[in-house]
Amino acid sequence: MRRRLADQPDTTRRNRNLTQPLVISIDAMGGDHGPPVVIAGVAHALTILPDSVRFLLHGDEAAIRVELARHRAAAGRVEVRHAERVVGMDEKPAQAARRGKGTSMWNAVEAIRDGEAAAAVSAGNTGALMAISKLILRMSADLERPALVASVPHSRGVTTFLDVGANVDCDAERLVEFAIMGEAFHRAAHGVARPTVGLLNVGHEEMKGHEEVRQAHGVLREGGFDLDYRGFVEGGDLTRGAVDVVVTDGFTGNVALKAMEGAARFITTELRTALTSGVSGKLGALLARPALTKFRDKLNPPPTAPLLGLNGIVLKCHGGATDRDFAQALRVAVDLARSDFTAEIERNMRRLPAALAEQAPSVADGNAAQGAA
């Protein structure tokens, strides 16, 4: 009989070492390319991950077996579970949640709840994955939806940026929760011992910003959390790497992220046009090709977006991900599963109600003074 993770002590699940078995559940049908890219990504991941890591693949068994035949080295460390149906990339989240049972995405997430896997990865429909994950795993905090995280590249690494679209309206409590979750994620995924945290605002001065942002700032500064909180940051600080984690509401985060993506596309398009406009430009582009490839890769954000706030680890990989992108997503899933990620979040979350209560009178006094002025 298969030994389930749920049957193991809680501390064992949260602090596995590299020799203990670890299972990652995968929606093998998700994304623009399905099994060919997913299975190639699994094969690549197995070359960089410990031998103790195993994968549970959900989807069309015949299609998966065809791809496994091309990557024989992966066959010994995977288990295939047949799923009759697939969640469409254009399917509405509510519809996916209603009819999702038995799909490859549903089954991949359900394996976490059933204790068969430590994390799940899918390149499928983002909204559907959020809805299905929330329905199966439930939320670990009083969030409306899981917080969606993006990794913004800068010259020395990446900035963890959240929320980027899942929770549009956020009060101060929600912003503090994002800070707690983002800090724990950055440490687990990027190996930073004590990540720095900033709150996105229209300026660094304490009197700037709307009430929710100013209240969250006070709670993070005075609440006694185990966080290295650095105060307000501005939009330009995202790509400067001023802090490791930048927190904002889902509306602002989504607009900021899409603006950065649009700017990156504009730069690469204009650069390509300039370098292919004449013989000398083409020759220069040929000579500079290695540097230009490095430049392009630097502008491209990492393809993995974890869904934070769930009672389980779920990662969304970009729909157009390559096999190496998918392998990178699997590596992040393993890092999170082997970390103390969820326990760290729980410890700081327990401090939140008292911190909010302590901060509320000073916020009210500040608002009254501002109104009188």
pLDDT of residue 107: 96
Distance CA 357, CA 351 (A): 11
pLDDT of residue 119: 95
Q: Would you say residue 224 lies in a domain? A: yes
Judgement on whether residues 334 and 298 belong to the same structural domain of the protein: no
pLDDT of residue 302: 66
Residues 6+ apart with CB under 8 A from 156: 241
**Amino acid making up residue 336:** L
Q: Would you say residue 90 lies in a domain? A: yes
> Torsion over CA of 13, 19, 21 and 22, rounded to 10 degrees?
60
Judgement on whether residues 27 and 129 belong to the same structural domain of the protein: yes
Q: Would you say residue 319 lies in a domain? A: yes
Q: Residue 248 has what DSSP assignment?
A: -
Q: Would you say residue 98 lies in a domain? A: yes
Structure token pair of residue 179: 């800070």
Question: Which of 331, 289, 6 shows the shortest CA–CA distance to 191?
Answer: 331
Q: Would you say residue 184 lies in a domain? A: yes
pLDDT of residue 301: 63
Judgement on whether residues 316 and 372 belong to the same structural domain of the protein: no
Judgement on whether residues 205 and 59 belong to the same structural domain of the protein: no
* HSE-up of residue 272 (Cα within 13 Å, Cβ side): 8
Q: Would you say residue 114 lies in a domain? A: yes
Terminal Cα distance for the chain, rounded: 71
Q: Residue 3 has what DSSP assignment?
A: P
Residue 110: domain span: 1-138+310-339
Can you give the pTM of this predicted structure? 0.79
* HSE-up of residue 321 (Cα within 13 Å, Cβ side): 35
Judgement on whether residues 10 and 115 belong to the same structural domain of the protein: yes
Judgement on whether residues 101 and 196 belong to the same structural domain of the protein: no
Query: Per DSSP, what are the bridge partners of residue 119?
Result: 24, 313
pLDDT of residue 363: 47
Per-residue pLDDT of the chain (373 residues; tens, 9 = 90+): 333 333 333 333 334 455 578 999 999 998 888 999 999 999 999 988 888 899 999 999 999 999 999 887 777 789 999 999 999 888 898 888 888 899 999 999 999 999 999 999 999 998 899 999 999 999 886 677 788 898 888 878 889 999 888 888 888 989 999 999 999 889 988 889 899 999 999 988 888 888 899 999 999 988 888 899 999 999 889 888 899 999 999 899 988 888 887 887 787 777 777 777 777 767 776 776 677 666 666 666 666 788 998 989 999 988 888 888 899 899 999 988 988 887 788 778 777 777 777 776 554 444 444 444 4
Q: How many domains does the chain have?
A: 2
Judgement on whether residues 131 and 220 belong to the same structural domain of the protein: no
Judgement on whether residues 295 and 168 belong to the same structural domain of the protein: yes
Structure token pair of residue 361: 């009178």
Alpha helices (runs of H) in the chain, residue ranges in sequence order? 10-14, 35-46, 61-70, 72-75, 93-99, 104-113, 126-137, 172-190, 211-222, 250-275, 279-287, 289-299, 323-338, 341-372
Judgement on whether residues 166 and 121 belong to the same structural domain of the protein: no
